Amino acid sequence: MSFRAVFIAVVLGTALLIAAFMVHRYRPRVVIEQPSAAFVRASGKCAECHANLEASIVHEYELSVHARKGINCLDCHHPAANQQGQEHHGFTIAAHLTAGNCRSCHEPIYQQYLRSRHAAAAWAGVYGSGDFTPEQIAIGETYHPGSCRRPANPLTSLEGGPLSQGGCARCHSIGRPNNDGTIGTCTACHTRHTASVEVARLPSTCGQCHMGADHAQLEIYNESKHGVLFAAQRSLLNLAAPPQQLTTHDMFVPTCATCHMSGLGGRGVTHDTSERLSYHLFAPITEKRANYTLAQAHMKDICRNCHTQPLVDRIYQEAEQVVVSTNAKVQAAQTILDALRKDGLLGPKPFAHPIEFLYFDLWHYYGITAKHGAFMGGADFVQWHGAYPLVKNTVEIEAMARRMRREHERKK
Ligand code: HEC
Ligand code: HEC
Ligand code: HEC
Ligand code: HEC
Ligand code: HEC
Ligand code: HEC
Ligand code: HEC
Ligand code: HEC
């Protein structure tokens, strides 16, 4: 071969390489960042198509512990027990995923979750017991008597289907009944593809549902010393620490999950968020739970990883006094309504008279908020979102009740 031929070949070859590089540079990112052959094999070929269709979803999955441990797309997406399958480009996938698709590998966690009020009780609080099997009701009633065997909440029919589905059902779906016989959705806290404990430990994750006038836990937390320190020191915390080995060196500031779920100092990690609660704070009149002593000891054990006993005892004593005092105020208002009902001034139909809204706001917004604030460090919520409007509504209820009685007398 002559020198000229070699020279032309080299020049042409270089030009082609440069051209290829230029063309490649201007191709869209999703095309350049094709998953490697090994990744495609590991994900069961699903990523081959879906990295182009929904790059973000595949990327979330790539970040997960699941991807690192070789759990592939089909491991979650194949039909679990009692699920309908559908053909999908040569695979069979389930039309809808539920806790049943996680349970297959995380059964003990599913069982813990079933014991919590996040399971059947959450859905029954809105739609009543009708959507559950008798066995599911029995489990819920064993751990939380009265939580599952009850009628639908009257607000659902007052507000109507679309509003209660877009509101109540979105949050309370954490315990929804699924067609495959399982309950709930694990991805309410873990997200579907990241499936991470890091996300689940964030206050904002719980705050998706635990916020607002009737359960202002997120706002209370943000006001507390814990919330302030979390905002300041978040980058120093090891939010991804493995749950079984979690210590206060990883999480020296608590989030919702630390107090209600994490394992610390010998107390095991749990998906039963009811395990450490000693009161029914969400009730109009708060009473002790059946397992009061044990549950309170469990929570105090968690505090004791970071605090001295006198501090913890003082907070509980103060909060328990707030419960007693709030109960007395709610009881006084309730007595007024009971008397109106007894004397025939209020009918049996709920939410039919303005005074019932005053009373509902009194216990459901202000009473609950004061009690939650007292246990979780939110002084403003005990006071200006709690005690003060509680007193104000009491005065309004008294005045309205007097007016109702006067009008009633006049009509006689
Ligand atoms: C040959 C390409 C291809 C392959 C391989 C593929 N998919 Fe898809 N998939 C699609 C297309 C196209 C859609 C239509 C929706 C879209 O993404 O725009 C889709 C939709 C889906 C949906 C939504 C279904 C729905 O009804 O809402 C899921 C879930 C899904 N795919 C999962 C998977 C899983 C899991 C695998 C591997 C077992 C897989 N796909 C393999 C192309 C593919
Ligand atoms: C940890 C279990 C898990 C793994 C692993 C997993 N998925 Fe999913 N995926 C889910 C869940 C749960 C949903 C929500 C399904 C539903 O709404 O019924 C979902 C939904 C989807 C959807 C529809 C999303 C949308 O927003 O429209 C697509 C597409 C999808 N997955 C593709 C994939 C692909 C591709 C992989 C692998 C790269 C994968 N999934 C791995 C659990 C998983
Ligand atoms: C095929 C089995 C399998 C399925 C199905 C599965 N997982 Fe996993 N999951 C695993 C394995 C294995 C690990 C890693 C455990 C370890 O390293 O100790 C894991 C770890 C996790 C972790 C801990 C992640 C972390 O950041 O440390 C979470 C959370 C999780 N899975 C949630 C889910 C959820 C939610 C679903 C259903 C949408 C699901 N898993 C479905 C097998 C599975
Ligand atoms: C998708 C919405 C949703 C998310 C996300 C959520 N919860 Fe809940 N949670 C609820 C509902 C609804 C209830 C009320 C259930 C009932 O008593 O009917 C509840 C109740 C609770 C209770 C009281 C249980 C009892 O026995 O009274 C605790 C504690 C709790 N959640 C903690 C958490 C923590 C911690 C997180 C975050 C890691 C979290 N929740 C995330 C909806 C949610
Ligand atoms: C923003 C999310 C969200 C919405 C919307 C929501 N809830 Fe709740 N609900 C919660 C949380 C979180 C709790 C737990 C509060 C606690 O334990 O302190 C709760 C508690 C309850 C309880 C007391 C617990 C029980 O089991 O008796 C009832 C009843 C209830 N909700 C019914 C409803 C109804 C009915 C609607 C719609 C009219 C509704 N909720 C809308 C999140 C929500
Ligand atoms: C209320 C929010 C919430 C729900 C619902 C939830 N998880 Fe979790 N999960 C968490 C939190 C928070 C952690 C980390 C606890 C900690 O701080 O160590 C966790 C940890 C885990 C882990 C790691 C546990 C370990 O010991 O390594 C797995 C696996 C897991 N969850 C699976 C599930 C499955 C399966 C479901 C559904 C049955 C589910 N989760 C429902 C909040 C939730
Ligand atoms: C420092 C620990 C701590 C932190 C952080 C914390 N809580 Fe609590 N929480 C408590 C204590 C203590 C109680 C009252 C326990 C009892 O009843 O004995 C409580 C009560 C609750 C209840 C009330 C259940 C009922 O009976 O109405 C819910 C729901 C709840 N917390 C959710 C959350 C959420 C969501 C966050 C984060 C935004 C959070 N908590 C942050 C310690 C904590
Ligand atoms: C993971 C560690 C951790 C846990 C668990 C924890 N705390 Fe804290 N808490 C802190 C830190 C750190 C501070 C700030 C301490 C300081 O400035 O000295 C704090 C501050 C407080 C303060 C404010 C003290 C003051 O006057 O400034 C109170 C009250 C408090 N915690 C109560 C509790 C209670 C009650 C529990 C259990 C229900 C609890 N904490 C659980 C870490 C924790």
Measured CA to CA in angstroms, residue 357 lies from 17, 107, 217, 273, 363 at distances of: 75, 43, 23, 30, 10
The predicted pLDDT at position 33 comes to: 47
The predicted pLDDT at position 1 comes to: 56
The predicted pLDDT at position 27 comes to: 46
Contact 407, 345 (CB under 8 A): no
Contact 177, 183 (CB under 8 A): yes
Residue 379's nearest CA partner among 334, 318, 324, 337 is 318
For ligand 6, atom 6, the nearest C-alpha belongs to: 186
| 22: pLDDT strictly greater than 80 | no
| 59: pLDDT strictly greater than 70 | yes
At 13, the amino acid letter reads G
| 318: pLDDT strictly greater than 90 | yes
What tokens does 144 get?
């939380």
The predicted pLDDT at position 32 comes to: 43
Residue 93's nearest CA partner among 64, 66, 73, 70 is 73
The predicted pLDDT at position 108 comes to: 97
For the chain, the average pLDDT equals 91
* Ligand 4 within 6 A of CB of 216: no
How far apart are alpha carbons 48 and 326 in whole angstroms?
A: 59
* Ligand 2 within 6 A of CB of 190: no
Residue 286 has, within 13 A of its CA and on its CB side, a CA count of 26
Question: Sorting pLDDT into bands at 50, 70 and 90, what band is 90?
Answer: confident
Give the distance (Å) from ligand 6 centre to CA of residue 345. Answer: 50
* Ligand 1 within 6 A of CB of 94: no
Task: Note every long-range contact of 340-344, with CB atoms under 8 Å and residues 24 or more positions apart, other chains counting.
Answer: 340/401, 340/404, 340/405, 343/405, 343/408
Average pLDDT on 206-227 reads 97
Average pLDDT on 60-67 reads 92
Measured CA to CA in angstroms, residue 397 lies from 80, 334, 353, 364 at distances of: 54, 10, 12, 15
> Alpha-carbon Rg of the chain, whole angstroms?
28
For ligand 5, atom 17, the nearest C-alpha belongs to: 282
| 29: pLDDT strictly greater than 60 | no
Residue 282 has, within 13 A of its CA and on its CB side, a CA count of 12
For ligand 3, atom 3, the nearest C-alpha belongs to: 105
What tokens does 13 get?
């070859």
How far apart are alpha carbons 77 and 251 in whole angstroms?
A: 33
